Structures are given as structure tokens and as C-alpha cells.
Structure 1
């Protein structure tokens, strides 16, 4: 699995139109916190029980369409869930997985707040909120 900062991932996505960009956060995070523009949403785990989505790999495979070699870029809040999701995809045979380090909201600052140290939004990359 490759690892890219949000800016590196954005540049990669711009240069690689066949890449599939997936937000693996919960549905509520995706809808209410916002999400990267153009990202597909497939939860790795979701409330209320926060169990791993048993259909995650199958849903990604359906989106990928071109097979297990299609470049896939995964993002979550801070880079941890996307790392676990990427490992599951690799175990299922996907060969071109990239994890976005620092995720959408970034690491915690000294006051335990996000969006103030790093991450997709902190870097000013395109995002949407419904």
C-alpha cells in the first residue's frame, strides 16, 4: 500500500482520471462533516455498532469495474480507518491501493481539535458538504 499526503493524493487524482477515490468514513461524517469533492462513499464501519462493513470489498469491487489493478485512493478522518480498509482490499487481491495520510480532518492539535494541523480540509483542497 502506498501512502500520500492529501496534496500528493489530490495531484495523483488529477493526473490519474481512472483512479477511484473512496471516502471510507461513516455516513454521518460523510454527510455532515463534509467530504472531498468527487469522492465515492463506502463506509468501512458505521454506527450504531461500528462493526466492519461485511460488504465493503464487494462494494469497492463493483465501483472499480476495471478489475483489481485499478488505482484506488482511500481517505477517512485521520488515516487510520482507510489504512485498515486498504489492508482488506489488498487481502482481497487489489494491487494499487493508496492511503491518504492525515485524512480529511487531520491529526489532533494540542487542544484535541482537528482541521488545524493537517488534512484534506486544512490543506484547502476541494470539498463539499450536503
Structure 2
């Protein structure tokens, strides 16, 4: 699995318009916290049980139109859910998988707040919200 910072991911997506950006956060996070433009929501897990989506790889495969070589970037809140999601995609045969480290909101700071150290929003990259 490759890793990209949010800024590198943004640049990669501009240079590779065929690439998919998969947002694996919960639907509520995707809709109400915000998301990068063009991000496609495929939940890794959803509340209240937070069980792993057993159809995750198949859903992404459909979005990739069965092209397992299509660049696929995966983002979550902080990079913790996206990493196992990337591993699942690689196990399913995807060959160009990229984990967006620090995710959309970034790591927790000393006060347990996000968006202050790193992440997509912290880096001033474009995002949208419902």
C-alpha cells in the first residue's frame, strides 16, 4: 500500500482524473462533517454496531468498473480506518491503492481536538459540506 499526505493526494487526483477517492467514514461523517469534492462514500463500518462492511471491496470494484489497476485513494477521519480498508482492497486484487494519511480531520492534538495538526481540512484543501 502506498501512502500520500492530503496535499499529495489532492495533487495526485488533479494529475490522474481517472482515480477514485473513496471516503470510508460513516455516512453521517461524510455528509455532515464534510468531504473532499468528488469523494465517493463507501462506508468501512456504520453505527451502531460498527461492524466491517462485508461488501466493501465489491462496492469499490463496481465503482472502479472492474478495473483493478485503477488508482484508488482511500480517506477516513484520521487514517486509521482507511489503512485496513486499503489492505482489504489489495487482498481483493487492487494494484494501485493509496492511503491518505492523517485523513480528512487529522490527528488529535494535546487537547484532544482534530483539525489543528494535520489532515485535509487543516491543509486548506477544498472541501464541501451538506
TM-score, scaled to structure 2:
0.98
Counterparts in 2 of 1:43 and 1:35: CA distance versus 1, 3 Å: same
Where in structure 2 are there 5+ consecutive unaligned residues? Answer: none
| 2:59 aligned counterpart, secondary structure | helix
Describe the superposition over 1:55-114 as per-residue Cα deviations: whole angstroms up to 9, x where unpaired. 111110000015100000000000010000000000011000000000000000110000
Q: Which residue of 2 aligns with 1:70?
A: 70
Aligned residues: 130
Instruction: Return structure 1 stretches of 4+ with deviation > 2 angstroms.
Output: none
Where in structure 1 are there 5+ consecutive unaligned residues? Answer: none
Q: Which residue of 2 aligns with 1:91?
A: 91
TM-score, scaled to structure 1:
0.98
> Higher strand proportion, which one?
1
